[in-house]
Structure 1
């Protein structure tokens, strides 16, 4: 069955569900018991922010824990959170004064010991942290007093505040050392606006409002009393649960399904472009096969020309999605969108390049994906039109990542949301600076990205990133494709606002 037919059938089924739900809808029980139930498709294997790569983990982390710095999503201004102030002691040392009078949810008092423990722990080789790209700039942290610390960096890192305001929550040192990582993942403790009451594998997480949340938090006080995260892998089941009132909030709603849900007066639907970028990686080094066609620049360029970015953005993603040509999102510091070649969709151009590379009759290959099967199939369709006969391997993220990092994937379709950080280091720095996710291993490119990451001169940072992005594009190491749009559908009695950084802030939500 074609993707188009599947989409039509799915839309029809949802329309029938809408009609049935409207007929049987009763009073919204979740508002009555002050419980916001939200559902997503992926389960966080380890709830610790430093031990999972999933967006669901980022969402939960911002409910459970606080960071040292807060970035206002409306103004992008950095504000004090667990730190009350900061000062650069040198290009590689940042001194922070910490907030007094804050308690963790188990009653432990927050102090410098917790900051020192958290960061020194996560950068240690035996921490099992999987998000080292977010902390590999930290060398160590020193305690300067009960409420003062110094972060020592491996090299100058001007984006430090952006990272401290993002995926770097502070853990309770004494409690973590007492229970260990496994027990902490089952019963996490933070200083955040919500505290966890249960973590149930395969089902979800329940949280209750932290009534002792510190009053001076820049993100304000939580309103809704209880939050429950449910794992519902199937999108139609999520929509059905929303329409019956069993769930209050879902996201990543397919556009056709969103159109159907708009017809229900009990629901609200929002959409908008996000920082997340979809892209295809290409095995330029030939690690997947000694005879890999992707070792030839012309083949990699042909892939870039073959894929119809605008068609995917307009027809599949919709909701504000735009074509992307750079290895970053345009709002990120240093993202020079003029540095990249604009590979406009061109079947003839792609075939010409393949013929010049010795593949006039095309070739067979494999492509790996873990999300948006319909997008992966659209990419495969575009590749087939120029003679690249790609076979889809659809895996779970962890399995794909293992194959990718092992150098076994000729092509992968992936997505990256930069952990919601508005800096090019959070994209190009992850995939082109020598980490496990850098399959290109280009020394010149690594040097340029490193210069962008570490220079204290903003002009030098911009220039270095621009040269790096131009090199990535010229060598066609990656095929950036489109920005994601996200459709949110939720109980109309819920006051909710989405943001481009793809971080639902449920602590801001309230009932109407």
Structure 2
């Protein structure tokens, strides 16, 4: 997959002089805010990979490679994985890392009382046995071909968390891991400062300090990149383009598996009564116009949650823009268009509210563009940006998901009935069946057929209206070396720090 790297200008003395007031070997990253750093309970977080390690890791091609486990075997007859752990690994507090930490972490995620949205990744784990300090086995009750991907999960220290509340513990404000960086300080709402782990088992990083400077507003990130207050940031397409010819900066226009779409809350009575209008909504959105106007071409139209995966089926219905067909569907289900230009059903105007999380201007713009297009076909859609999202009470949400890893990731737990990341309360027995079949077979042809069935079912019974895939538009000082432009990023553009220990600042 070709990935564009646009050079915004070579390193310059001017660029270096702007950094003169800063420590020369410190990187300042423009980050969203964190209320906690809890990789076991939360689905993602850019900072996790700097502080923690999993048994496995992903390389620049998003393939599974060794992490805290130096090797492993799989017994196909018993569905048992045996992991051989690195020896001599220390937690940031100096304590020894052992297999007991691994068992503790995964069991904590699996414990339903802890409410982890990662739990579906491990629901087929039947037994976890510590053989010795550096050997651990996982016996599954059924095959799970994505299991090695899921063992990239950050391992947490048992000696600090045993008996603690895994949602509320103060540990998650003072995290201690085994990763290449360790927490130095956390100034709430301002900055999280990390310093390099001199005893990192893979070798100490090159950059001494990384500061996650909290900048929640997209416009402010762009301004602070221009002023030199930031060295690296993920910007909106519009803001990133302003650095295209700016000396001392490099633009990384990186592909992602990160899609945007409208999530429908099927627990809301509105969709229990109006689910049959969703196909009309799908045809009523001009996706290419949104990619062009909002993303400035930095992305592509979406029709599938695994569009950048080898198991995608491009032959399913794409719901290409067709406003006439959209209105035909509305009329076919008994809706009537009145003089005000809107459709009505049982005396009620068709319409709903799309909620968008605060601080993400691109999502706001996508939602507003979609709302305007849907008004044009007679559905009264508005956009709200609540201070706090009411997942159970809202009508719809401008969702973002996507994974560059195994196709099981961000499908099984997102669309499976009752799974940890199924925020839409979507339930479809055929979808559950197809996702289980795909998870349990290592045969590529079986998986391909299962995912084709899954995707086809999503077109018959849509959980979302897929809109677009977005690119990750990173801008960095050209003095930063080591960023891999060809790595496909994940949800929220996460993934750029996968090889951070190898980065340098010149």
Quote the offset at 1:180 in angstroms: 6.2
Higher helix share: 1
Structure 1 length-normalised TM: 0.85
Equivalent-residue separation in structure 2 for 1:325 and 1:190 (angstroms): 39
Aligned to 2:399: 414
- Say if 2:420 is the partner of 1:431: no
The whole-number CA distance in structure 2 between the counterparts of 1:359 and 1:245 is 55
Kindly indicate whether residue 191 of structure 2 is the aligned counterpart of residue 209 of structure 1: no
Question: Of 275, 284, 289, which aligns to 1:295?
Answer: 275
Q: Point out 4+ residue stretches in structure 1 off by more than 4 angstroms.
A: 22-26, 178-181, 290-293
List gaps (5 residues or longer) in structure 2.
Answer: 1-12, 338-342, 344-349
1:307 aligned to 269, 285, 297, which one? 285
Cα distance, 1:107 vs. partner? 1.0
CA contact (8 A) 1:431 1:439 kept: no
What's the counterpart of residue 47 of structure 1? 37
Q: Which residue of 2 aligns with 1:227?
A: 210
C-alpha change, 1:52 and 1:431, in structure 2 (3 Å) is closer
Q: Does 1:260 align with 2:236?
A: no
Matched residue count: 465
| 1:46/1:52 contact within 8 Å kept | no
**In the alignment, does 2:452 pair up with 1:460?**
no
Three-state SS of the structure 1 residue aligned to 2:328 is helix
1:19 aligns to what?
none
Helix, strand or coil at the partner of 1:449: helix
Residue equivalent to 1:449 = 435
Superposition CA RMSD, Å = 2.4
CA distance in 2, matches of 1:431, 1:178: 30
Deviation per CA, 1:238-283: give whole Å up to 9, x if none. 22222222211110x1222222222321322221221101111235
Q: In structure 2, what is the equivalent of residue 336 of structure 1?
A: 313
Corresponding residue of 2:478: 492
Secondary structure of residue in 1 paired with 2:230: coil
> Of residues 161, 174, 178 in structure 1, which corresponds to 2:159?
174
Q: Residue 257 of structure 2 is aligned with which of 269, 275, 278? A: 275
Secondary structure of 2:201's partner?
coil
Query: Contact (CA 8 Å) 1:351, 1:360: kept in 2 or not?
Result: no
Q: 2:108 matched to 1:121? A: yes
Structure 1 residues 235 and 30, CA gap change in structure 2 (3 angstroms) = farther
- Whether contact under 8 Å (2:56, 2:68) holds in the other structure is yes
SS in 2 for 1:261: coil
Aligned partners of 2:336 and 2:407: how far apart in 1?
37
Residues 264 and 424 of structure 2 are in contact (CA less than 8 Å); yes or no, is this contact kept in structure 1?
no
Matches within 5 A, 1:136-155: 136-155=123-142
**C-alpha offsets along residues 487-511 of structure 1, whole Å, 9 cap, x if unaligned?**
1112121123343223121333211
Structure 1 pair 108/274, CA: closer, same or farther in 2 (3 Å)? same
Secondary structure in 2 matching 1:169 = coil
What is the CA distance between 1:153 and its match in structure 2?
2.5
Q: CA deviation at 1:291?
A: 7.4
Whole-angstrom distance in 1 between the partners of 2:368 and 2:123: 36
Question: Does the CA-based 8 Å contact 2:262-2:398 persist in structure 1?
Answer: yes
Q: Who is 1:89 aligned against? A: 75
SS of the equivalent of 1:50 reads: coil
1:30–1:433 CA distance, 2 compared to 1 (3 A): farther
The whole-number CA distance in structure 2 between the counterparts of 1:104 and 1:489 is 33
**How many angstroms does 1:200 deviate by?**
2.8
TM-score with structure 2 setting the length: 0.85
CA shift for structure 1 position 451 = 1.6
- For residue 463 of structure 1, give the secondary structure of its aligned residue in structure 2: helix
Return the offset for 1:295: 2.2
Match of 2:369 in 1: 378
| 1:350 to 2:330 alignment | no
Structure 2 counterpart of 1:504, from 482, 496, 500 = 496
1:50 touches 1:122 (CA, 8 Å); kept in 2?
yes
CA distance in 1, matches of 2:289, 2:80: 47
Going from structure 1 to structure 2, the CA distance change for 1:306 and 1:475 (only over 3 Å counts) comes to same
